[in-house]
Amino acid sequence: MNTPKQILSRTLQAFPASILSSSGDENDTKEENSNNLADGNTIQQTHDFIVDNFGYLHKHVFLYESNSVITGFNFQDPNVTELKTTSTRRTFTGYYLYNVEELYIEVGDRQPKSMIFAVPFCIKVSGRKIQLITNTFSRNIKAYVDEEIAPMRTVNSDKAILSAFETSTRSVMLKLDINKAVKQLWEDDTIDARQVTFKEDWSEGVTRMDENLLYKDKYPNRYLELLKMPLRKTTFKVLNNNYPINHFYADPSMGTIQFPVYPDVEDHHEKFLNHLLSKN
């Protein structure tokens, strides 16, 4: 259940079925292609596949600004496996796996069991700007066990990776506020909102648009008022066809963006993110 290749097979299931079948058999299921790729490749070949196709994953992006240029990270957490790193004087890119151990018990059995999931994540540095990108694919033990089970311990992989990341360098890293960039894209109609969260005097308010309606289009006056305050959790639809990624979630004041849909092309998320950051 937790051999290196079994763990990597579960990791491969985070990728789109089309990408797995392009390296496997288009007539096989996603699970079959994942198992066959992990079994048929060496560990290094599977690691290379994860690095080469990382752009296709669902992503949660955490943005930071540091007090100095960081060109390397020293992970002390034993759950981190380095796959590949490259660096120059002012840039760094690193790909990693983080092992998350989930505990469960089979109904009728008193002996706890564990299942390990290796979660891909990436670090990109350009000058003093840093992107920590984690994979948000849902991992469910019940999908891999035939017996009826009861989970005993689940691990928030984002929190675990963030903890390991934030202790991997001595540089000071602060969350990057991207209100300026998001508001600029909203202003020039690159994006519009499906759902907005806003601060009221004594509470937080949420507006969810009906069907395919969009906030700025239907509430232009409220939109102008919203721009006067820091943006909170917001769901945006991308309107510019140069960035065909459908929609994303953003919490601009916390410096986070989430891409919950597979891109059609490997670098679509990256191109949109770079465009957004260029406006900050």
pLDDT of residue 38: 95
**In whole angstroms, what separates CA 269 from the centre of its chain?**
10
Last residue of some domain: 18, 33, 54?
A: 54
Cα–Cα distances in angstroms (integers) from residue 116 to residues 101, 108, 212, 273, in the given order: 4, 22, 40, 31
Pair (19, 97) in one structural domain: no
- Does one domain contain both 13 and 65? no
Same structural domain for residues 66 and 165? Answer: yes
Query: Per mean pLDDT, which of 31-35, 94-98, 223-227 is the most reliable?
Result: 94-98
Q: Could you tell me if 224 and 258 lie in one domain? A: yes
Q: What is the pLDDT of residues 51-104, one digit of tens each?
A: 999 999 999 999 999 999 999 999 999 999 999 999 999 999 999 999 999 988
Residue 95: per-residue pLDDT: 98
Q: Do 92 and 155 sit in the same domain of this protein?
A: yes
If asked whether residues 22 and 125 sit together in one domain, one would say no
CA dihedral 114, 57, 232, 125 (to 10 degrees): 100
Q: Which of 135, 155, 175 is the last residue of a domain?
A: 175
- pLDDT at 200 exceeding the cut of 80: no
User: 256: domain range?
Assistant: 179-278
- The pTM assigned to this predicted structure is 0.94
The better pLDDT of the pair 175, 108 is held by 175
32-46, 47-61, 191-205: least confident range: 191-205
Residues 100 and 201 in one domain: no
Number of domains in the chain: 3
**Structural domain ending residue among the three candidates 175, 209, 244:** 175
**pLDDT of residue 28 exceeding 90:** no
